[in-house]
Amino acid sequence: MKRQMLDTGWTISRLRGPSTAPTLPNTIPAAVPGNVHLDLMAAQLITDPYLDVNEISQDWIGRSAWRYRLAFDWDGEDAERIDLSCLGLDTAARLELNGTALGETRNMHRSYRFDIGDHLKSGRNELIVDFQSAYEHGEDVRKQLGSAADIPQNYPGPSNLIRKMACNFGWDWGPTVVTSGIWKPIAIESWSKARLGSIRPEITLQGSQGVARLHVEIEWAEKGTDSAALVLSVGGKRAEVRVAQGETHALIECRIDNPRVWWPHGMGGQPLYDLDLQLLGSDGATLDHWKRRVGFRSVRLDTTPDEIGSAFTLVVNDVPVFARGANWIPDDCFLPRVTRERYRERITQARDANMNMLRVWGGGIYETDTFYEECDAAGIMVWQDFLFACATYPEEEPVYSEIEAEAREAITRLMPYASLVIWNGNNENIWGYFDWGWQDVLGNRPWGAGYYLDLLPKLVAEIDPTRPYWAGSPYSGSMEIAPNADEHGCKHIWDVWNEVGYETYRNYIPRFCSEFGWQAPPTFATLAQSVREKDRAPASPGVLHHQKATTGNDKLLMGLEDWFPHPQNFDDWLFVTQLNQARAISYGIDHMRSHRPTCMGTIVWQINDCWPVTSWAAVDGAGRKKPLWYALKHSYAPHLLTIQPRGDGLAAVAVNDATLFWRVPFTAERFDFNGTLLARHHVWRILCDRFENTDIDIPSDVATPGDPSREFLRARLGDAEAWWFFEKDMKLQYPKPRFDIESADTPDGITVTVTAQSLLRDVCLFVDRISPNAEVDDMLINLAPGESRRFKVKGISREAFDDADLSTVLRTANQVAEPQHH
C-alpha cells in the first residue's frame, strides 16, 4: 500500500449563497485538513468569529456553497487498484476527478473511499470537492422526508435531519458557525492484490488471560490473486492464519497469560501493548498493515435490582468504580485546530483535577483517534454518546441508512481503545419525549426510539460485544419508568441552575448523575482577549454576546440570592459568579459522593469550552482554569472529607477512592471567626476501607453553634479537611479580610505566601490579571487567623507580582460580603 497525501496546493472559491455576502477573490488558498472559516481568516478576508460580535455578520459563510480545487501530479505508478480515501468531509459533498463524478457524501461522521484508477492520468490531474451549504442540504432532506421532518428539536438549524456536528448550529454555550470543508486527511492509496478493510479488535480480559481477537475484512484487487496470510503480534505472542483468495472475512486471535492490566487513573497503571497486524502476500511481502496501542481490561455495567431500585455502576476488572468526571464537548468549533498537544493539555487538566472519566457528548463528534489515545495513556475512562442530542430524529430514509452506516464505522473505529468503557444511545432525547411536550407534536410519527432501543444495541452487540450499551442519558432502563428517576439508571439534574438554587442538590440521591452544572464567565484574561469593548459590563453587547444561555445572566444573579449581594461592578461580578459556580458544583459532588454506593458517578457539565464564553465549563475557551477547576480538584480528591447533614445533626463523611485503606486520626472543632476554639471532638483512629465511605458522627455539642453567624466547624481526617459554615454568606458576620503576603523566586516561577490575620474564606489568586499566561496551583483555600498557605505560580516574575495592584488579584468571599463586615 502506497499513500500520497493530498494536503497542499488546495484552493477554495464560493459557488453561491446569500446576496449579503461580501465580494471575494476568485480563489483563496486553502489548508487541508481545514475548513472554510479558517481559510477566510488566514486570507484576512474575515476577522476572528470569536471576537466581539463578529459571529453575527459572518452567517453568510455557513449559508454558502463552496468549491475545493486541487491540481496535483500523478506518476502513473503501476497498481492494481487506486483509491481516493477521504477520512472526513463536512458535510454534503460532490467529488469530481478530471471532469468525472466520483460520488456524493452526506455525513460528516463517516469516511469515504472511491475507486479512481480509471479516472487518474499520468501527469497533471484536477480534483474538485463541492460542498453544499448545510442549510441547503437540510432543506433537501426536509423535502424528501415530507411530514416526517416536522418533528421537535430544541435548537435552530437542521441538525436532526442531517449528519453534521449539531452544536455547529449554536447551543446554549456555543456560537452559530456552520462549517464546510475537508476536515480530516484526504489521500490517494494505491495497492495491489489485497488490502485490509475494517478491523474489529475485541481486546479484553478473560480470567488471567489477555485476549486480542480480531475480526478482519479483506478487500481483493482482482479475482485471480494468490492467497494471503494475516499475522498478528501483541505482547510477545504471534498468530498467523491463511486467507484463501477471494475470502473476505477472517478471525485471528492472540492470548497472553497474566498481562499487565489497564486501570482507570488512580486505581493502577495504564500499560499499553503494541498490536501489529500484517497482511502478507503468498511471497511473504507485506501488502498492508495496521497498528494500534491496546490495553487489556474488562468492563461491564452493573444494573442489578436492589431495595432502592437498580444499580448503575461501571465495573472495571471486576472492581466497581465511582466515576468522577465531566462532559466533553468539541474543544473548538473549528475542529482541525485541535492538535494532539491541545488534546493532551485538556485531558491532563481532567486527570490533574482527579477525574477518571470524560463523557463525549452526543451533540458533537466521535472524537479523533488522538483523543482516545491520550485518554488511554492518562487512564481517563470514556463514556461515548452516539450523535443524537436534544431533538427527535426521523427514522425514515435517507436518514436511517446514514445513521446505521455511521454507527457501524464509529463502533469499529473506536474498539481498540481501552479507555472507552460504555456506549450511550443519545443525550436527553428519551427525557424530551416523556417530559418536554414532544408527544403532543409527534402524534404517532417515529422520533428516534428505533435507534436507541433497537438498532444501536443490536449493532453494539454484533460489532463490540466487550462493552456495555445504555439507551440514553438520562434513562431509567425502561420505557415504563420515568427516564430521569433517581432510583434507576443515570440522571440529569437541571432544575438546579435553571429554576432553583444549588441547595436542591441534596434533595436527590441518583444512582449516577451524568449531567449537572452551574454557569460562570471565563477568566478575566480570556474575556479581555475576546471582548475588546472600552466599557465592559455584564450586560454590555460584547459580554452579553458571549453568553448563549437563555436569560443566563439573570440566572447567574438569581443563583446569588441569600449567598452574596448583587455585585456593583464588573470585577466583583466576575469573581462572585465564578466563586458561586465553584461552590455550587462542590456542594453537589460532595453530597453525591457521600452517598456511595447508592450513587456511583458524577459527570459534571462540562470540562471544556469551544470558544470564549460564559458557560458551565471548568476550563474556559482559551484553556485557562476557572475557579471551578480547583473546586473539582478538591471535591474529586481520592480522599475526600465532607461535612453533611445526617438525621437531625451533622456527620463527617470519609470517602476513600484510593486503593489502600485509610486509617488516620479524626478531629472536629468549632471555632468563632476570631479563631477561638469553642468545642472539640477527637478520635484516635478512624478506618475507611478502600472504595468505601465511613460516616463519622459529630457530637451535638460540637456541631451546634452558639452564634451561627460568627462560627464555623472544621474537621480533619489525616491530610483531608472539611469546613462547615452554619449560615449562608449574607447572614455571616465575616471579619474584614486582613492578611500578609510575601513572594519568593523558585526555579520554575514564584511562590506567594498568604498569612491570614483574620478568617479568610475561599482565597483565590487571579494571576491571569497580571499576565495572561500565569497560572496558580490552587484556589478556594480557607485560612483561620494565624494560618499561612504557600501558592505556586508559573508564568510570571516576582517583580511583576510585587508591582501588581492586588485588589483584583487576591480575592476572598469576605470581600464580596462587605455589608456584613464587623
pLDDT at residue 223, rounded to an integer = 67
Please spell the DSSP secondary structure of 545-613, one letter per residue. HTB-STTHHHHHHHTTTTTSPPPSSHHHHHHHHHHHHHHHHHHHHHHHHTTTTT--EEEES-S--SSS-
pTM, two decimal places: 0.96
Q: Which CATH number is 2-189's, of 2.60.120.260, 3.60.15.10, 2.30.30.100, 3.30.70.100?
A: 2.60.120.260
pLDDT at residue 224, rounded to an integer = 64
Q: What's the CA gap between 599 and 490, in Å, rounded?
A: 10
- Our measurement of the distance from residue 478's CA atom to the centroid of its chain's CA atoms, rounded to an integer in Å, reads 27
pLDDT at residue 77, rounded to an integer = 78
Q: Where are the domains of the chain?
A: 2-189, 193-294, 315-635, 639-727, 739-820
Decide if 297 contacts 322 (C-beta within 8 A). no
pLDDT at residue 226, rounded to an integer = 84
Q: What's the CA gap between 384 and 423, in Å, rounded?
A: 5
Decide if 263 contacts 252 (C-beta within 8 A). no
E strand or H helix at 814: helix 813-816
CB proximity list for 397: less than 8 A, separation 6 or greater: 144
N- to C-terminal Cα separation, the chain:
77
pLDDT at residue 820, rounded to an integer = 47
The fold adopted by the segment(s) 739-820 is Immunoglobulin-like (2.60.40)
pLDDT along the chain (822 residues), means of 10: 95 95 96 98 97 94 98 89 97 97 98 96 96 97 93 93 97 97 97 95 96 97 83 97 94 97 97 98 94 98 98 98 98 98 98 98 98 98 98 96 98 98 98 96 94 98 98 98 97 97 97 98 96 88 93 95 93 97 98 98 98 98 98 98 96 96 96 97 94 96 97 97 97 96 95 97 97 97 97 96 95 78 46
Closest CA to 13 of 45, 47, 52: 45
Decide if 511 contacts 311 (C-beta within 8 A). yes
Question: At residue 682, what are phi and psi to the nearest 5 degrees?
Answer: -135, 135
Same fold, 2-189 and 315-635: no
The fold adopted by the segment(s) 315-635 is TIM Barrel (3.20.20)
CATH superfamily of 193-294: Immunoglobulins (2.60.40.10)
Q: Which CATH number is 639-727's, of 3.90.1150.10, 1.10.10.350, 2.60.40.10, 3.90.79.10?
A: 2.60.40.10
